[in-house]
Amino acid sequence: MALAMKVLCFLVVTYFGICCATVYKVGDSDGWIQKDYDYYKDWAWSKTFYVGDTIVFEYKPNEDKVIQVRSHDDFRSCNTSDPKSVFTSGEDSVTMEKPGHHFFVSDKHCKTGQKVDIRVHHQVVPTPAPAPAPSPSAPSEAPGPSPSSPKSDASTVKTVEGLFVYLVVGLFAFACVGY
């Protein structure tokens, strides 16, 4: 009995640890190319990202790069002089390991809007992202934390789902403690 419970606990914990990671191709079928100024902002806003999700940038490697910058300021001004990471493969997978904002810009076309701010939520139970010092008077371009964005419906649904999953996991964790 105890062994069966251990196995069950292991399976459940493993399952919830890996089940929810999603892979997103940035720009969907268009990939990482120059588009209208707000294209990637709209794209990111239409999604809800969680820790563990992966985003993939697809482009012709000789034509561009993906540069991850450290701050919202660098993102806004397309300042790539002190990048966090540079991706050049043309098939760049980046896994979101921390909640908060992750800023990626095109090496060539950042100034014309080819850049994306990936706001990542805590896994399972979505909480407002701990925004790293956003400017209070956000210009229209800044995709800062906006609780009343169009995706709020989807977020609400996910929150309910998330709470449920959280409860189930919590119950199992509680049950597993004894074993």
Site of interaction with ligand NAG (CB under 6 A): 74, 77, 79, 81-82
Pairwise CA distance, residues 31 & 70, whole Å: 23
Shortest CB 166 distance to ligand NAG, Å: 38
Q: Is 128 exposed, middle or buried (0-12, 13-18, 19+ CB in 10 A)?
A: exposed
Pairwise CA distance, residues 96 & 128, whole Å: 16
- Please report where in the chains the tokens 């909480």 appear, as a residue: 127
Nearer to ligand NAG, 34 or 79 (CB): 79
Shortest CB 82 distance to ligand NAG, Å: 4
Nearer to ligand NAG, 21 or 142 (CB): 142
Pairwise CA distance, residues 14 & 157, whole Å: 24
Cβ atoms of 24 and 47 closer than 8 Å? yes
Shortest CB 110 distance to ligand NAG, Å: 13
Shortest CB 79 distance to ligand NAG, Å: 4
Nearer to ligand NAG, 48 or 106 (CB): 106
Nearer to ligand NAG, 12 or 138 (CB): 138
